[in-house]
């Protein structure tokens, strides 16, 4: 369906990534946000608080991130599209409810504007060190989707994608921004509402008698009902059967948890978004994401100027990890070079997918600034040898 024009600020804007993310959420149909102030993410909900009363929706500032991350899920079951925004310390507190959203299949979006950690770390400076936390932070086995924008324009575009994926797969989707992308100001083009594709909720059309809240067919994604419609459904974070009733047996656990995984992994090709350049004859492929991809771009250009056969692979979808593509490339490439603003997170996934067929070079950075293109170039040169 097309976006509701009331939420779409069509035009050309000069705004930062945080504000663009807010506009993306409004365009995607988000009419509820619950938040808690934390640098460098707060601007997203500040803008939402200003914008949403004239669009028709609610912002509530909660007492902490534990509350924010579950309040938004109450709103989803009440019929809204909802999200929250945070940074590292708040993201840590939200892990409990990322698990709840995964288990109860509550479509929602968590935005993490990453800053340096651990703990309070570097509140105003960038990092990309929450990438594994986004994937594994809550306990138990589950799958999520994580997208990684590298510009304010993508903060807008990918926020819409994040909502669309969350509705399509009934899964919490993480938008993994970073401080630089959140605070950099660039041109953002917001199209007309009828040019924005919005995925509606998978709302059930079944009769009350026929409706089973967690029954699925085909793609493994159940249909949803909202409170107040007469379905008298039950939702629990306990292991549950198709009726939504607690059923704590190894059989029910196996069936449920495997479905939560396969509904995402079986659709990985569709979820995987990549930005590729010069991979046809590349001896070395630089794999990067988020703000680091902007620096890596320069390093790749410098390497080409030196006549090196270097390609670029930018991960827009970080989770599920695009391992199929990496596996393919590993058979025809000498090496992967992976700069990231952490001491080695996604590089482990690259290494795993490469499976020894191509060498992997990490370029770790503890955060607080970005890499220098020359530092990446040096490793590219080393990798070509």
Partner 1 sequence: MSILDVVNPVEPFLRTDRMPHIWCPGCGIGTTVNCFARALIESKVDLQSIALVSGIGCTGRVAGYVKLDSFHTTHGRAIPFATGLKLANPKLNVVVYSGDGDLSAIGGNHLIHAARRNIDLKVICVNNLIYAMTGGQTAPTTPGHAITSTSPYGAFEPAFNLPHLVEAAGAVYVARWTTFHVRQLARSIAEAFQKKGFSFIEVISPCPTLYQRRNRLGDGLDTMKYYKEKSKVRHGAPTGEVGLTMMGEIVVGKFVDRDRADYQELLRAQMVESLGERYVEPSENVCSCG
Q: Which residues bind partner 1 (CB under 8 A)?
A: 1, 4, 6-7, 29-32, 34, 53-58, 60, 62-64, 66-68, 70-82, 96-97, 100, 167, 198, 200-201, 203, 226-238, 245-246
Q: What is the DSSP string of 242-273?
A: TTS-B--SHHHHHHHHHHHHHHHHTTHHHH--
Toward partner 1, which CB reaches closer, 236 or 331? 236
Toward partner 1, which CB reaches closer, 226 or 298? 226
In terms of DSSP bridges, do strands 185-190 and 145-147 run parallel, antiparallel, or are they unpaired? unpaired
Task: Find the shortest distance in angstroms from Cβ 266 to partner 1.
Answer: 24
Toward partner 1, which CB reaches closer, 59 or 156? 59
Task: Find the shortest distance in angstroms from Cβ 345 to partner 1.
Answer: 27
How many C-beta atoms surround the C-beta of residue 291 within 10 A? 28
Kindly tell me the burial class for residue 205, based on how many C-beta atoms sit within 10 Å of its own C-beta (0-12, 13-18, 19 or more).
Answer: exposed
Toward partner 1, which CB reaches closer, 3 or 176? 3
Kindly tell me the burial class for residue 347, based on how many C-beta atoms sit within 10 Å of its own C-beta (0-12, 13-18, 19 or more).
Answer: buried
Distance of CA 273 to the CA centre of its chain: 11
Tokens read off for 224: 């949803």
Task: Find the shortest distance in angstroms from Cβ 359 to partner 1.
Answer: 44
Distance of CA 180 to the CA centre of its chain: 17
Task: Find the shortest distance in angstroms from Cβ 225 to partner 1.
Answer: 8
In terms of DSSP bridges, do strands 317-319 and 145-147 run parallel, antiparallel, or are they unpaired? antiparallel
Task: Find the shortest distance in angstroms from Cβ 340 to partner 1.
Answer: 32
Toward partner 1, which CB reaches closer, 80 or 354? 80
Task: Find the shortest distance in angstroms from Cβ 365 to partner 1.
Answer: 35
Distance CA 358, CA 360 (A): 7
Distance CA 125, CA 110 (A): 20
């Amino acid at each position: 369906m097309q976006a509701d024009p009331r939420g779409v600020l069509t035009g050309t804007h000069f705004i930062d990534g945080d504000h663009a993310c807010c506009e993306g959420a409004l365009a995607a149909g988000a009419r509820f946000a619950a938040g808690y102030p934390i640098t460098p993410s707060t601007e997203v909900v500040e803008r939402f608080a200003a914008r949403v009363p004239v669009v028709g929706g609610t912002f509530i500032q909660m007492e902490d991130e534990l509350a924010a991350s579950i309040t938004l899920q109450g709103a989803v079951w009440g019929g809204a599209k909802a999200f929250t925004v945070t940074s590292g310390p708040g993201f840590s507190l939200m892990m409990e409810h990322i698990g709840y959203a995964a288990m109860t299949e509550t479509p929602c979006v968590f935005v993490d504007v990453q800053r340096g950690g651990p703990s309070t770390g570097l509140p105003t400076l960038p990092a990309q060190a929450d990438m594994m936390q986004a994937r594994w932070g809550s306990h138990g086995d589950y799958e999520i989707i994580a997208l990684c924008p590298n510009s304010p324009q993508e903060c807008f575009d990918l926020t819409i994608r994040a909502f669309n994926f969350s509705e399509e797969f009934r899964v919490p989707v993480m938008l993994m921004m970073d401080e630089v992308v959140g605070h950099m100001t660039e041109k953002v083009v917001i199209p007309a509402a009828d040019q924005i594709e919005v995925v509606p909720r998978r709302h059930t059309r079944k009769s009350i008698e026929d409706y089973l809240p967690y029954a699925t067919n085909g793609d493994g994604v159940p249909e949803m009902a909202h409170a107040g419609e007469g379905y008298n459904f039950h939702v629990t974070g306990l292991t549950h059967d198709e009726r939504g009733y607690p059923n704590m047996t190894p059989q029910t656990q196996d069936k449920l948890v495997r479905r939560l995984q396969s509904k995402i992994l079986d659709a990985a090709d569709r979820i995987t978004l990549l930005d590729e350049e010069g991979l046809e004859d590349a001896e070395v492929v630089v794999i990067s994401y988020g703000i680091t991809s902007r620096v890596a771009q320069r390093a790749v250009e410098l390497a080409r100027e030196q006549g090196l056969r270097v390609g670029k692979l930018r991960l827009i979808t970080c989770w599920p990890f695009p391992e199929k593509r990496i596996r393919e490339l590993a058979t025809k490439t000498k090496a992967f070079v992976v700069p990231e603003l952490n001491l080695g997170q996604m590089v482990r996934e690259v290494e795993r997918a490469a499976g020894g067929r191509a060498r992997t070079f990490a370029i770790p950075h503890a955060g607080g600034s970005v890499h220098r293109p020359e530092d990446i170039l040096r490793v590219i040169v080393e990798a070509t040898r």
